[in-house]
């Protein structure tokens, strides 16, 4: 059901949880509905993401998307464009009913770009 890439991002996911003192934060979706993605970042004065945490439902595709985001962003900047198609491609695809998690991580970044 899930690609080897998705399983690898899930198995090796870093950043699940919450940061004590994030400098930037976004939430996509609604916790009370069960489908949400919270993104917390620490961005230094030079614009580099030095730490990242994500919180989402404890399901394989959601955590895989968050783990992917951790590897993609920490040590870099938010100015690189990330698309839903790129997330899905790098994860080796997701089942149609779970593709919205790829949209959520992209949307979480997009909402932060205006405030960095």
All structural domains of the chain with their residue ranges: 4-113
In this structure, of 7-11, 22-26, 33-37, 38-42, the range with the lowest mean pLDDT score is 33-37
Identify the band that residue 116 occupies on the pLDDT scale cut at 50, 70 and 90: very low
Options 3.40.1000.10, 3.40.50.880, 3.90.1010.10, 3.40.50.300; which CATH number does 4-113 get? 3.90.1010.10
Q: In this structure, what token pair is assigned to residue 96?
A: 């149609």
Q: Is the confidence at residue 103, as pLDDT, over 70?
A: yes
Instruction: Kindly report the three-state secondary structure assignment for every residue of 11-52.
Output: HCCCCECCCCCCCEEEEEEEHHHCEEEEEEEEECCCCCEEEE
Q: In this structure, what token pair is assigned to residue 1?
A: 């059901």
| Region 72-82 average pLDDT | 91
Identify the band that residue 21 occupies on the pLDDT scale cut at 50, 70 and 90: very high
Q: In this structure, what token pair is assigned to residue 97?
A: 């009913």
| Region 88-97 average pLDDT | 95
How many angstroms separate the CA atoms of 63 and 96, rounded?
A: 16
The residues pairing with 30 across neighbouring beta strands, listed in sequence order, are 35
Q: Is the confidence at residue 94, as pLDDT, over 90?
A: yes
């Amino acid at each position: 059901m899930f690609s080897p890439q998705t399983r690898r991002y899930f198995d090796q996911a870093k950043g699940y949880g919450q940061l004590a003192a994030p400098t930037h934060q976004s939430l996509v979706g609604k916790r009370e509905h069960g489908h949400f993605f919270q993104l917390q970042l620490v961005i230094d004065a030079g614009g580099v993401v030095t730490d990242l945490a994500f919180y989402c439902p404890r399901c394989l595709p959601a955590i895989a998307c968050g783990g992917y985001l951790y590897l993609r962003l920490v040590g870099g900047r938010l100015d690189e464009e990330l698309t839903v198609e790129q997330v899905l491609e790098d994860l080796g695809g997701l089942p149609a009913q779970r593709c919205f998690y790829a949209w959520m991580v992209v949307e979480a970044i997009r909402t932060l770009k205006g405030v960095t």
